[in-house]
Chains A and B, each alone.
Chain A
Amino acid sequence: MANSAVPTTNAPAIAPISLSALAPWAVFVGILMLVLLYFVGAEQGATAVFEGETVHEWLHDGRHLLGFPCH
């Protein structure tokens, strides 16, 4: 790789995690975390999967204080 010009010292270098080993985790965890963020930040606000206002009202203060647009 391009970054192999790293000087070797006493501190043991950490081997990079190969992209093929990381890819399935990136897809799985990435999607899971983004869905979580969607429910915390935007469900029953900008758009809605579930009917009603309960999710919005329950998470209301967190949305405002975390910086998500609310009302």
Chain B
Amino acid sequence: MNSASPRTLLVRGMLAGLLAGVAAFLVAYLLGESKVDAAIAIEEAAAGAGHDHGGEAPVSRALQATAGLGTGVVLYGVALGGIAALVHCFALGRIGRFGPRATAVVVTAGLWVTVTLVPYFKYPANPPAVGDPDTAARRTALYLLMIVLSALLAAGAVILGRRLAPGLGNWNASLAAGGGFVVAIGISYAVLPGVNEVPAGFPAALIWDFRLASLAIQTTLWTTFGLAFGFLADRALVPTRAPKEAVQPTS
């Protein structure tokens, strides 16, 4: 039996990530930029804060909101696409009877939960003017720690589920592994320090809108990626499958 080439799947994963990045950029530009602008207006009104994103900044607001935003979101999409394609290469043929497209959807959904949602609910996105520049290194370290922890716990849950499956059956083993993951994430949330650097008087509605926009960007990115990569991965593996499908009716 032929197996898929990692190179083909990785290239297609990055292509799907590029497409997902473009879709996410459109959402970011349409939904997110007005919130960034509103937060920067508040930041500049509260003059005296040390961080200067104002007039003599090396990159103008117009560039930040278009080319800069596009660069960041598209590169982010390509990078996550490459990583997701790697996970897909590993999962392909190892998670039961799922074909390439279904595997892509399962892997994408799993990464969306572990890499985006779980860290997001502990350390959500913040608009400019929320957050002390002096604690940026600490906040970045905590955010990365949460992502790594979430990924490791998810991998642990998958291994646990596979171990339990022969005894409990697939359904109950999945429930037990999923429950274990939720409990472990809950404990991580409780143990890791919280971050709350919202200045007094900062509009709560603006933070809510900004975080919703951020969630919409991430959801657009992962959904587009999952569908596009599923399509491309399926197409890539058609030559591998076609002879078998053609042979079957005659046998």
Please measure, in the bound complex, the distance between the C-alpha atom of A21 and the C-alpha atom of B69, giving whole angstroms: 36
Nearest chain B CB to A12 CB, angstrom units = 5
Please measure, in the bound complex, the distance between the C-alpha atom of A42 and the C-alpha atom of B166, giving whole angstroms: 44
- Looking at chain B's contact residues, the main secondary structure is helix
Question: Do A61 and B32 touch (CB < 8 A)?
Answer: yes
Nearest chain B CB to A30 CB, angstrom units = 6
Nearest chain A CB to B33 CB, angstrom units = 7
Residues of B within 8 A of A63 (CB): 72
Question: Do B3 and A2 touch (CB < 8 A)?
Answer: no
Question: Do B72 and A46 touch (CB < 8 A)?
Answer: no
Question: Do A70 and B131 touch (CB < 8 A)?
Answer: yes
Please measure, in the bound complex, the distance between the C-alpha atom of A60 and the C-alpha atom of B32, giving whole angstroms: 13
Nearest chain B CB to A15 CB, angstrom units = 4
Contact of B2 among A1, A15, A18, A40 (CB under 8 A): A15
Please measure, in the bound complex, the distance between the C-alpha atom of A33 and the C-alpha atom of B84, giving whole angstroms: 10
Question: Do B4 and A17 touch (CB < 8 A)?
Answer: yes
Question: Do A65 and B140 touch (CB < 8 A)?
Answer: no
Nearest chain A CB to B130 CB, angstrom units = 9
Using C-beta atoms within 8 Å of the partner chain, give the interface range for chain B: 35 or more
The total of chain A residues at the interface (CB under 8 A) is: 52
For B112-147 the 0/1 string (1 means CB < 8 A from A) is 000010011001111110011100110111110000
Q: What are 18 A-B pairs at a CB distance below 8 A? A: A3-B94, A3-B96, A12-B241, A17-B92, A18-B3, A29-B82, A39-B75, A45-B140, A57-B57, A58-B71, A59-B68, A61-B28, A62-B68, A67-B123, A67-B124, A68-B143, A69-B139, A71-B131
List residues of A whose CB falls within 8 A of some B CB: 1-3, 5-7, 9-18, 21-22, 25-26, 29-30, 32-34, 36-37, 39-42, 45-47, 52-54, 57-71
- Other than the given A40-B76, A62-B69, 7 more pairs (CB < 8 A) read A16-B92, A25-B89, A32-B82, A39-B75, A46-B141, A63-B72, A64-B36
Please give me the 8 A-B residue pairs with the lowest Cβ-Cβ distance, nearest first: A62-B72, A16-B93, A69-B139, A46-B140, A67-B125, A15-B3, A57-B59, A36-B79
